[in-house]
Chain A
Amino acid sequence: MEALQTLTVQDLWTLAPELALLVASVVLLVVEMFLPARVNRDLIGWLVMLSLAVSAALVGVHMADLQASGASAVSVLGGTYRVDDFANILKLVVLAASGLVVLLSLGSVRREDIPIRGDYYSLILPAALGAMIMASSAELITLYVGLELMSVTTYVLVAMRKSRPSSGEAAFKYLVSGGVASAFILYGMSLLYGATGTTGLGEIGAALSAGSDPFERLVNIGFYLMVAGFALKLALAPFHLWAADVYQGAPTPVTALLAVVTKGAAFAMAYRTLFNAMGQDERDLVLPALAVLAAIAMIVGTTGALRQSDTKRFLALSGVANAGILAIPLVLDLSHVHTSLFAEFVYYLIAYVFMNVGAFAVLAMVERAEGQTGLDAFAGLYHRAPWTAGAMTVLLCSLAGLPITGGFFGKLLILFGTVQTRAYWLAAILLATTVVSYYVYFRIIRQMYMRGGRTEEPIRVTTPAGIVIWICALASVALGVLPRPILSWIDAVFSLPADLMVR
């Protein structure tokens, strides 16, 4: 038994990015309560942006410190919380994505849609905080608390459009599927705890690698249950049925948040848990199941998107296919020499964040003008807002994976990974679904350029949303033109054994 540890100032400094968000969210909720009604609630939104920026700056300082000191990680709170480069990179992605979502909300949310906008903005902070805790936790209880902090907050965010019954319906569906997912993950965790007597990821991994385990079946069942729970959270087919409904019912910026932040955090959780807690026997037995799920997700997501006539449902199914692609580096065989899997994953995740948030930003603008989110709302967009249509074309090309975009290089890197580790069947499915996805995404491009719109009236793009759209479009191109600097940065910062493994 360890001696009782006290929280030192050094520990608080290590936790500073999280604490900044925590303090900001509590303070802003109280400030919102006492702010006179005549003050525009967008003020809260800008303050939320500020606190996200502060937190991101603190993460950056930690990364620099970590590089300078040469240590691989800083552990606090009795080894349950771990600040390493894996966590820091994913935290930066989460914070950037949340920032883009808040900026998009500032430009697209109307008072009649979401009457309580102050609360809406300040609730994005705990969601980002939960995602950061998930990226950093080295222990099952911490992981679970982070997961639920993020999930419960997003349930509320989905229900924010109180005037429409579809919002409440989406929130209820999300709550039930999310609750079932956490129940599965928890049940798996309880079996792991029972077999090893500990909740630390590193200790579980060490105990399972040691061999001669009397609870071997229990452990395998536990991992299968956790994989099912992760698949529900990640919307991997066949656990994806909630995604289309929830995405459609939620306010559009919240949909973007669900598509990038919760998915990114769920991937952080899956990578951290499955890499650390599994011994080689478990990897051989359980990861093929996840590989099959990833393959089904790519196929079902792509073919399902073909049949959708609502843009949000369309993007939900595209998210299912992309979740399958992002899961590929996780399931590759580690016994081959293949060390760049994290770089592949993060590169595609960054590309995915930009192209998805950008597409949702354009959708939010179209929805504002048209009052609906059908694919036909994009008809004639080229005549109504030529620049926005151009940006959307770039984003859709990136989603489809056409050359000189971030999505292309992300898919290419993951494809190289599958070939290097001789997972040829995954490579084949990835290629085939990519080819089909060209047709899928060109459905929107066809609407924008070749169909006449209901009116020729120009669509007004608000300044914050315009900034989001152009940041995302330019970032997608930049990721495609200059993949080298980003990849070499990730490779320089991250090394698999030192940064992901809790040892």
Chain B
Amino acid sequence: MTLLGSYLTLAAVLFCLGLYGVLTKRNAIVVLLSLELMLNAVNLNLIAFSKYGMIPSLTGHVFTLFTISVAAAEAAVGVAILIVFYRRRVTVNVDEFDELRR
């Protein structure tokens, strides 16, 4: 149980770091990286539960595989959108994403 506790704590810390990064970082690439950090915290949670949880089962592993592949697809689309944007505006600074206001 203690091992489960440490894994869950690590995952929670990772999740919060990721959220902090998404909310504060200026570089759009770093924002995408922070998003991945949040999703990987979930993976850690799932794996820890499926190994050390009250009711260990394989479902957590399966869930993780799905999360990893879907997160990869999301990241690919994210970078593609960023490239489309970069071609027009030549910046990845999130502070300059300010065309849509009012």
| A positions within 8 Å CB-CB of B | 140-141, 144-145, 148, 151-152, 155-156, 159, 162, 164-173, 175-176, 179-180, 182-183, 186-187, 189-191, 193-199, 214-215, 244-245, 248-249, 308-310, 313
A-side contacts of B89, CB under 8 Å: 165, 168
- Other A-B pairs beyond A141-B59, A175-B74, 6, CB < 8 Å: A156-B81, A164-B88, A187-B45, A190-B60, A193-B46, A193-B63
Q: Are B49 and A190 in contact (CB under 8 A)?
A: yes
- A151: nearest chain-B partner, CB-CB: B74
B-side contacts of A168, CB under 8 Å: 81-82, 84-85, 88-89
Least Cβ–Cβ distance between A170 and chain B, in angstroms = 6
Contact partner of B38 (CB less than 8 A), chosen from A152, A166, A180, A215, is: A180
Q: Given the complex of chains A and B, what is the CA–CA distance between A303 and B50 in angstroms?
A: 47
> How many residues on the B side are at the interface (Cβ–Cβ under 8 A)?
46
Least Cβ–Cβ distance between A180 and chain B, in angstroms = 6
Q: Given the complex of chains A and B, what is the CA–CA distance between A172 and B59 in angstroms?
A: 32
A-side contacts of B101, CB under 8 Å: 245
Q: Are B82 and A172 in contact (CB under 8 A)?
A: yes
- Taken residue by residue from 34 to 57, chain B's Cβ proximity to chain A (1 for < 8 Å, 0 otherwise) reads as 010011011001101110011111
| B positions within 8 Å CB-CB of A | 8, 15, 18-19, 22, 28, 31-32, 35, 38-39, 41-42, 45-46, 48-50, 53-57, 59-60, 62-63, 66-67, 70, 73-74, 77-78, 80-82, 84-85, 88-89, 97, 99-102
B-side contacts of A187, CB under 8 Å: 15, 38, 41-42, 45
Secondary structure call for the A interface: helix
Q: Given the complex of chains A and B, what is the CA–CA distance between A169 and B98 in angstroms?
A: 8
Contact partner of A193 (CB less than 8 A), chosen from B8, B49, B74, B97, is: B49
Q: 10 A-B Cβ contacts within 8 A? A: A159-B80, A165-B85, A172-B85, A172-B97, A175-B81, A187-B38, A189-B63, A190-B60, A194-B45, A196-B55
B-side contacts of A310, CB under 8 Å: 102
Q: Given the complex of chains A and B, what is the CA–CA distance between A196 and B55 in angstroms?
A: 7
Q: Given the complex of chains A and B, what is the CA–CA distance between A395 and B53 in angstroms?
A: 53
A-side contacts of B35, CB under 8 Å: 176, 179-180, 183
Which residue, of B56, B60, B73, B100, has the highest number of chain A Cβ atoms within 10 A? B100
Q: Are A199 and B38 in contact (CB under 8 A)?
A: no
Q: Are A183 and B18 in contact (CB under 8 A)?
A: yes
Q: Are A165 and B99 in contact (CB under 8 A)?
A: yes
Q: Are A141 and B84 in contact (CB under 8 A)?
A: no
Q: Are A193 and B59 in contact (CB under 8 A)?
A: yes
Q: Are A169 and B100 in contact (CB under 8 A)?
A: yes
Least Cβ–Cβ distance between B41 and chain A, in angstroms = 7
Q: Given the complex of chains A and B, what is the CA–CA distance between A155 and B85 in angstroms?
A: 13
B-side contacts of A166, CB under 8 Å: 99-100
B-side contacts of A165, CB under 8 Å: 85, 88-89, 99
Q: Are A175 and B42 in contact (CB under 8 A)?
A: no
Least Cβ–Cβ distance between B79 and chain A, in angstroms = 10
Q: Given the complex of chains A and B, what is the CA–CA distance between A266 and B64 in angstroms?
A: 22
Q: Are B88 and A144 in contact (CB under 8 A)?
A: no
Q: Are B77 and A152 in contact (CB under 8 A)?
A: yes
Q: Are B70 and A159 in contact (CB under 8 A)?
A: no
- B67: nearest chain-A partner, CB-CB: A186
Q: Given the complex of chains A and B, what is the CA–CA distance between A141 and B69 in angstroms?
A: 12
Least Cβ–Cβ distance between B23 and chain A, in angstroms = 9
- A313: nearest chain-B partner, CB-CB: B102
Q: Are B63 and A141 in contact (CB under 8 A)?
A: yes
Q: Given the complex of chains A and B, what is the CA–CA distance between A117 and B59 in angstroms?
A: 40
Return the 8 tightest CB-CB contacts between A and B, nearest first. A197-B55, A168-B85, A194-B49, A165-B88, A183-B38, A190-B45, A245-B100, A186-B42
- The answer to whether residues A197 and B100 also contact, given A168-B84, A183-B38 and a CB cut-off of 8 A, is no
Q: Are A176 and B22 in contact (CB under 8 A)?
A: yes
Q: Given the complex of chains A and B, what is the CA–CA distance between A170 and B82 in angstroms?
A: 11
Least Cβ–Cβ distance between B82 and chain A, in angstroms = 6
Contact partner of A141 (CB less than 8 A), chosen from B8, B19, B66, is: B66
Least Cβ–Cβ distance between B28 and chain A, in angstroms = 7
- A179: nearest chain-B partner, CB-CB: B35
- The answer to whether residues A197 and B56 also contact, given A159-B84, A168-B81, A172-B28 and a CB cut-off of 8 A, is yes
Q: Given the complex of chains A and B, what is the CA–CA distance between A36 and B77 in angstroms?
A: 27
